[in-house]
Structure 1
Amino acid sequence: MLILFCCLIGCGGSGPQLGTVEGSVTLDGKPLPGAIVSFRPVEGGRTAEGMTDESGHFIIEFAAGSKGALVGDHEIRVTTFREKVIGDNGRVEDPGMPEKVPRKYNDQSELIRTVEPGKNHFDLELASS
């Protein structure tokens, strides 16, 4: 009876194994606000993202309401680029933002970190040159 009950409600862990991830991003020693930080699993799988606040702090989300990233090695990408948004009326609704981060930290990222089960903290100290 217990086995049947467990099968009906689902026993064991459900979903992928995640580790919580937070940290900060600096560029040339100064906090980098408004940057998107992406954790892309090296072995494939869902990318998890977060945005830095005014102090450069970020918290990574795997999905809405689910904080963290898949356990394992990740390529980390950091970007500030946002496209300009023009509304139906032809007016600029969002001026966008230019890229402040060198390519070696975003589309040609050299940043690799390992997410472990439990809590993970990564401070990313980037340099513009």
Structure 2
Amino acid sequence: MRRWRGRRGTVMGAVATGEVFSNFSPGTWDEEIFSFWEVILMARFAWTTACVLTMLFLAGCGAKGPRLASVKGKVTLDGQPLANAIVTFTPVAGGPASTGVTNANGEYELACQLGKGAVVGQHKVSVRSQPPTQTGAGAVSSDDPSYQYGGEDSSRAPVFQEKIPAKYNTNTTLVREVKPGSNEINLDLTTSP
């Protein structure tokens, strides 16, 4: 096996004196000689590739947040489907809460800031009525002094009364477990104490 050396005994010396390819003969890998700059470029490319692969590996590994599971269900109040109710699942162990709004049949599906579903584990569940939106008659002009208090004439706006008992919202006693996979969690609420 031959290794080429320049006058100064190194590839660097060979580059400086212009003797890089004076003894080069193509054929075997052992005899192939690269210029100083080719070696530098290959080393830089190898180092950059190693750094990029390491960053991709580290970005792809580790926790990406809590595991989510699909949660659907139906909410009834005294046996009747509860429409336009806000269902909230708040993880007992901490994490993002998931919410859903019931349709006319009382059906809901949860979603949170991380995607569809809820964090796996125990949850405190609250159910609230969705306040009706005011349109037309209650709206006031921006010139009206009452506009600064929400843009509605409070003297004409009906007072919103929660029809769902406090034991299901402000003082909730509901606790449900979300398991990995698909969950169907029906909530049968009653107005009786």
Interval of TM-score (by shorter of Structure 1 and Structure 2): 0.7 to 0.9
User: Contact 1:25–1:32 at 8 Å: present in 2 too?
Assistant: yes
Gapped regions of structure 1 (runs ≥ 5): none
Q: What's the CA shift for 1:82?
A: 2.3
User: Contact 1:71–1:114 at 8 Å: present in 2 too?
Assistant: yes
Count how many residue pairs are aligned between Structure 1 and Structure 2.
127
For 2:189, the aligned partner's letter is L
TM-score by length of 1: 0.83
Pairing 1:29–2:79 present: yes
Q: Deviations over 1:76-128 (max 9, x none)?
A: 00000527666562564996853111011111111100111111110100001
Aligned mate of 2:124, from 75, 80, 105: 75
Equivalent in the alignment of 1:107: 170
Residues 32 and 118 (structure 1), Cα distance of their counterparts in 2 relative to 1, 3 Å cut = same
Looking at CA atoms only, which structure, 1 or 2, has the larger radius of gyration?
2
Cα distance in structure 1, aligned partners of 2:61 and 2:158: 49
- Between 1 and 2, higher relative CO (CA 8 Å, sep ≥ 6) is seen in 1
Cα distance in structure 2, aligned partners of 1:29 and 1:80: 16
The structure where strand makes up a greater share of residues is 1
What secondary structure is seen at the aligned counterpart in 2 of 1:6? helix
Choose 87-96 or 37-46, whichever is displaced more: 87-96
TM-score by length of 2: 0.57
Percent identical among aligned pairs is 39
Aligned-residue Cα RMSD (Å) equals 2.8
The structure where helix makes up a greater share of residues is 2
Equivalent in the alignment of 2:57: 6
For 1:125, the aligned partner's letter is D
Pairing 1:16–2:66 present: yes
Equivalent in the alignment of 1:55: 105
Cα distance in structure 1, aligned partners of 2:82 and 2:64: 36
Q: Kindly report structure 1 stretches of 4+ aligned residues shifted beyond 3 Å.
A: 83-88, 90-97
